[in-house]
Amino acid sequence: MKRTTSGQHTFKRLSFNKEGNIYFESFVLKGSEKDMLGVEQFPRVVDAAGLCICLEGKGEVGIGAQSYQMKKGDMSVILPNDILFINKISPDFKGYTLACTPDFLSNAEIPIPSRTPIYLFIKDNPCVSLEKNEQDDLVKLCEFLDEYDSRKDHPCRQEISRNLGYAIIYEVIGIYKNKQPLRQQPYSRKQALYFEFAQLITKHYKEQKDIEFYAEQLCITSRYLSVVCKDIRGTTAKECIDLHIMVNARILLTTTTMTILQISDELNFANPSFFTQYFKKRTGVTPKKYRIVNRPT
């Protein structure tokens, strides 16, 4: 685990990067474990790409701002910088997990860079149900990789591991295509605009909360930006901005000891009263009440 500091608070990030050329790490999660992956007590930003297959039991996981009920045979896919939170796991839960470094994913010559429709589809649909043969084939590939990657003295170990890793990614892409076929093609104009908008929100959400700023950066009107967001995500541009702000506000309230004033300042609201009104309008409760109810004791 490592920490990255922002202002007066620290975010814990779950990292699978290690010293040396290690591309993958595989392990089995069990419901009897406490604070699995360090994400059961608090949400974490994940510095990795990975998948988890539920082999037994069930659980509720939060990915980004959505919650998903996982049961036996379900798979979740995590992409770099996703926010992960394990809400509940049954005692009999057992999951097979494989994670790789973000560098491995970005350097791979495979059709899953962040500017392709399949990437956007997976990010919007991180959990899918597997057929029995899909689960068996995927776990078999993961175990095959684990076996070959452990041969530390093999002169071609890294090359073999890398290509087996590509095979697993292709397998996941194939599963998603079978669930909902997607044509492999470059982003449409609207998809490209939405992606750039999402990137801009990540960089400027604290300072810029108005649609006009983002529309100007994209050289389009604010009305057309909302049309783009409605077509791609089903929400308005303003709702996209608010969602990102609220996700970060919830994290600060549940994972730090910052005061409401400090959080208000961190998110660049005019004053705590305005932040409280903004938060309550979107959740139905004040930030203080949200912290009391949702922060683990």
Query: Contacts from 268-274 at CB under 8 Å and sequence distance 24+?
Result: 268/206, 268/207
Is pLDDT above 80 for 150?
A: yes
Give the architecture (CATH level 2) of 2-179.
Sandwich (2.60)
- Express each pLDDT in 197-242 by its tens digit: 887 887 888 899 999 999 999 999 999 999 999 988 788 999 989 9
> How far, in Å, CA of 16 to CA of 1, rounded?
8
- Express each pLDDT in 37-90 by its tens digit: 666 655 677 878 889 999 999 988 878 767 788 999 999 998 887 878 787 889
Token reading at 200:
């801009």
Helix, strand, coil tally for the chain in percent (to 5)? 45, 20, 30
Contact (Cβ atoms closer than 8 angstroms) between residue 42 and residue 254? yes
Strand 66-71 relative to strand 94-100, pairing: unpaired
The H or E element containing residue 287 is helix 287-294
Instruction: List, by residue range, all CATH 1.10.10.60 domains of the chain.
Output: 189-294
> How far, in Å, CA of 137 to CA of 143, rounded?
10
Letter for the amino acid at 228?
V
Letter for the amino acid at 123?
K
Residue-level length of the chain: 297
How many CB atoms sit inside 10 A of residue 284's CB?
A: 9
> How far, in Å, CA of 211 to CA of 225, rounded?
8
**Please, what CATH class does the domain formed by 189-294 belong to?**
mainly alpha
Token reading at 32:
């009897």
Instruction: List, by residue range, all CATH 2.60.120.280 domains of the chain.
Output: 2-179
Letter for the amino acid at 136?
D
**13-17, 118-122, 251-255, 288-292, range with the lowest pLDDT:** 13-17
The overall average pLDDT reported for the chain is: 81
Residue 141's pLDDT is: 92
> How far, in Å, CA of 55 to CA of 196, rounded?
37
Q: Tell me which residue of 198, 208, 204 sits closest to 235, measured CA to CA.
A: 198
Q: Looking at per-residue confidence, does 202 or 126 come out higher?
A: 126
Max intra-chain CA distance, the chain: 63
